[in-house]
Chain A
Amino acid sequence: GQQVMQIPQYQHVQEGEDFTTYCNSSTTLSNIQWYKQRPGGHPVFLIQLVKSGEVKKQKRLTFQFGEAKKNSSLHITATQTTDVGTYFCAGPPPGGSARQLTFGSGTQLTVLP
């Protein structure tokens, strides 16, 4: 079945440093979504990428979708303590429901003040 891998599993950064998490799917994705889960919270949607090579920015967050639509990355510039949480990528299976998401294992970000 479809597998979505994410690295690194954990990342500790000093406040103000940059952070990047990478996502790789075993299959081509029709779209990829990113979610953030704060400690003790639930996943919250950040963004969706649909087109090959797409790049989207949200303030200090930059999201990229690979040309082959099998990988993606999330980059945070100048991290803040509010960025703490686990970041997940997720995508639907090939030919499957758009709402049947396979999630990556997540990258847990700790920001040290």
Chain B
Amino acid sequence: KAGVTQTPRYLIKTRGQQVTLSCSPISGHRSVSWYQQTPGQGLQFLFEYFSETQRNKGNFPGRFSGRQFSNSRSEMNVSTLELGDSALYLCASSPLQENTEAFFGQGTRLTVV
């Protein structure tokens, strides 16, 4: 069974630009969650999608958005990038059931210069 695939693995962007990251979940998993990982703030929940709808959202500004497609693939977008957005962005897929583990992708390392 293929794991969670995130693309690209690395990105360098300039302040003010926008970026789109992609995540393909494990086949059969309908829930996709996004997390931001930084040395200072640790792992923080961004949002969760299933059935093409955002279900939960963490405490991040509106510059962070996402969407999910009918095949459960998800994208997240960050607009007007700031230096502080430099982070490892992790996607996690899960089946839609309680008490289930999250399967993380390898992440996209975003550097904003």
Contact = CB atoms under 8 A, between A and B. Distances in A.
A105 B103 CA distance: 19
Q: Chain B CB within 10 Å — which of A35, A97, A105 has the most?
A: A97
Contact of B101 (A1, A45, A88): A45
A41 B106 CA distance: 6
Nearest to B6: A42
Interface of B: 31, 33, 35, 42-45, 48, 55-56, 58-59, 90, 92, 94, 97-107
Given A41-B106, A42-B107, A43-B90, A98 B100 contact: yes
Interface size class of A (residues with CB under 8 A): 20 to 34
A97 B56 contact: yes
A48 to B, nearest CB: 6
* Binding site secondary structure of chain B: strand
A31 interface: yes
Interface string A27-68: 000110101000001111100101000000000000000000
A47 B31 CA distance: 19
A97 B55 contact: yes
B102 A99 contact: yes
A102 interface: yes
Contacts of B92: 99
A50 B101 CA distance: 12
A42 B45 contact: no
Contacts of B101: 33, 45, 48
23 contacts: A1-B59, A33-B101, A33-B102, A35-B104, A42-B104, A43-B43, A43-B90, A43-B102, A45-B101, A45-B103, A50-B99, A88-B43, A90-B43, A96-B56, A98-B97, A98-B100, A99-B56, A99-B100, A101-B102, A103-B42, A103-B43, A104-B42, A106-B42
A100 interface: yes
Given A35-B104, A41-B106, A98-B97, 16 more contacts: A30-B99, A31-B99, A42-B105, A42-B106, A42-B107, A45-B102, A48-B101, A88-B43, A97-B48, A97-B55, A97-B56, A98-B99, A98-B100, A100-B56, A101-B45, A105-B42
